[in-house]
Amino acid sequence: MSGGGPGADGGARLRAYPALPVWVVEDHQDVLPFIYRAIGSKHLPASNISFVHLDSHPDLLIPVNMPADTVFDKEALFSELSIENWIMPAVYAGHISQVVWLHPPWAQQISEGKHNFLIGKDISTTTMRVTGTDHYFLSDGLYVPADQLENQKPLNLHVILINPTEASNSREENGEVASAKRLKLNTDDTASTTSASSSVAPGDLDHSTPSVKKKEVQNTSALNRAETLSECSASSSLGNSECPIREVVKDVCQALQKGDAYVLDIDLDFFSVKNPFKEMYTQTEYELLQELYNFKKPQRNATEEGLLDCVENRVHQLEDLEAAFADLCDNDDEETLQKWASCPGMKPLVQLVHSLKTRMESPDYEMVHQAGLTCDYMELPHHVSTEEEIEGLIQSIKVLLKDMPKPTLVTVARRIHSMTMNPFSSCLCILSQRRGEPWIQDA
């Protein structure tokens, strides 16, 4: 990872922030303007950025009907984005090349491991599409073969599980982890140090507000651009973790070496998450939505033709459901309902609408459709964590970040459900108490 050294960003030296910026927002898509601002100010390169994404959701969908060229008009792009589809446009624009999705055990939307695929402009629709064949993309009708894409951009996606660490057994917490030999991520990177006084107190960052937090956490300590990586030896503290943290550190740092700089992105729903639709609809209604929107998966090792058939059928299914609920928005009388219920796969619509109308004077059918779109091959994650689970994940992140290189900037999305323990301050403390060289001061 070349950071701010020569060669990054087409040969130009990147600027260095005097202190690590931490941008805090409520809605996750609102971090993208800050990333673009860093690109424009030459703190991030215009291409080959790595993105480390801690979240219960991948956020890797695509605005289905948005013209691909919209990504080249920043203001138009930002107005089109939502919480589930804001990363991939930056990949198609050529800025991000590596995404590392670090997810908790209850988030399984994309299969573990490395996924290398293309994103580009579909020559038949002029929208963005991908060659990725994971169910995550197929169920949204986003797959096309490579020969149907122009302006192709590659994406290296790494999906890595983070298990909670038992704080009581953490040797790292007790200061017993040895600092093993260190591996420079880039020997060409020159050391430069800057300092500035802290501009944000912990209390200022702890209260919620609907507006975007455009506050920068400043670092009073010297920041060395020649970042290093320790080999973590704390695996004995991880109990029965499927993916020990030392292996996660290794995998993440290997991915980061492919990029010229990286952004660390944290969504607080990584620690605890709710599926909002489960609170909006009854269990029966939710099960009816699952039946209506069920995604018929392709056969294992399906051919290109089989994948195309799968996507075509899925697109038609979703178009029919969208049309049905659009009709119901205009008129949800029995005649309209029975007309749509007579279509293949639509029979559960009758029971669903009847149930909704007994509870609501005027059901929001557009919202019902949005809820249905999340009921395909897998539910949205829903796991209200205990304090012990949250603390275990905080410990895991602490071990992980201890040996990672310093990012160019940090983004945090913190619109979370009410929980007994808010991990926001803990995340800031992890950054400020990082062993060796704190990333931020007085958090």
Write down the mean pLDDT value for the chain: 81
- For residue 239, the model assigns a pLDDT of 40
Confidence of residue 14 (pLDDT cuts 50, 70, 90): very high
Over residues 222-238, mean pLDDT: 33
Q: What is the distance of C-alpha 298 from the center of its chain?
A: 25
Query: According to the model, what pLDDT value does residue 11 have?
Result: 54
Which stretch of 144-153, 323-332, 385-394, 421-430 has the lowest confidence by average pLDDT?
421-430
pLDDT at 270: 95
SS3 label, residue 275: coil
Q: How confident is the model at residue 1 (pLDDT cuts 50, 70, 90)?
A: low
More confidently predicted of 365 and 414? 365
What's residue 417's pLDDT? Answer: 60
All residues at 6 or more sequence positions from 72 whose CB lies less than 8 Å from its CB, including other chains:
93
> Taking residues 205-219, what's their average pLDDT?
35
423, 394 contact by CB (below 8 A) = yes
pLDDT tens figures, 38-87: 999 999 999 999 999 999 999 999 999 999 999 999 999 999 999 999 99
pLDDT tier, 437 (very low <50, low <70, confident <90, very high otherwise): low
> pLDDT at residue 200 above 80?
no
Q: What angle do CA 88, 149, 67 make, to 5 degrees?
A: 55
Neighbours of 235 (CB within 10 A): 14
Report pLDDT for 169: 47
Model confidence at 145: pLDDT above 90: yes
Helices (H), 139-281: 202-206, 245-256, 277-280
| pLDDT for 391 beyond 60 | yes
Structure token digits, residue 191? 């050391």
Distance CA 367, CA 354 (A): 16
User: And the tokens for 427?
Assistant: 């995340």
Residue of higher predicted confidence among 85 and 20: 85
Residue 183 has pLDDT above 80, yes or no: no
pLDDT digits 0-9 by tens, 251-300: 899 999 999 999 999 999 999 999 999 999 999 999 999 999 999 999 99
pLDDT at position 393 is 93
Rounded Cα distance, 72 and 67, in Å? 10
Query: How confident is residue 149, by pLDDT bands cut at 50, 70 and 90?
Result: very high
Q: Mean pLDDT over residues 182-207, rounded?
A: 32
129: closest CA among 68, 56, 184, 55?
68
Q: How confident is the model at residue 154 (pLDDT cuts 50, 70, 90)?
A: very high
Of residues 440 and 441, more confidence is placed in: 440
Segment 177-193 mean pLDDT: 32
109 phi, psi to nearest 5 deg: -65, -30
Maximum C-alpha span of the chain = 73
Sequence length of the chain is 443
Region 207-212: mean pLDDT is 35
Residue 222: predicted pLDDT: 29
Looking at the chain, the whole-number percentage of residues with pLDDT higher than 70 is 76
Model confidence at 238: pLDDT above 50: no
> In 162-287, which ranges are E strands?
182-184, 228-230, 261-267
pTM of the predicted protein model:
0.81
Local confidence band at 415 (pLDDT 50, 70, 90 cut-offs): confident
What's the rounded Cα separation, in Å, for the pair 70 and 65?
A: 11
Confidence label for 194 from pLDDT (cuts 50, 70 and 90): very low
User: For residues 394 and 386, what is the distance between their CA atoms, to the nearest angstrom?
Assistant: 12
The whole-number average pLDDT for the span 146-167 is 93
Report the pLDDT value the prediction gives residue 228, as an integer from 0 to 100: 32
DSSP three-state, residue 232: coil
Residue 430 has pLDDT above 90, yes or no: no
Residues forming a β-bridge with 113: 159
- Model confidence at 246, in pLDDT bands (50, 70, 90)? confident
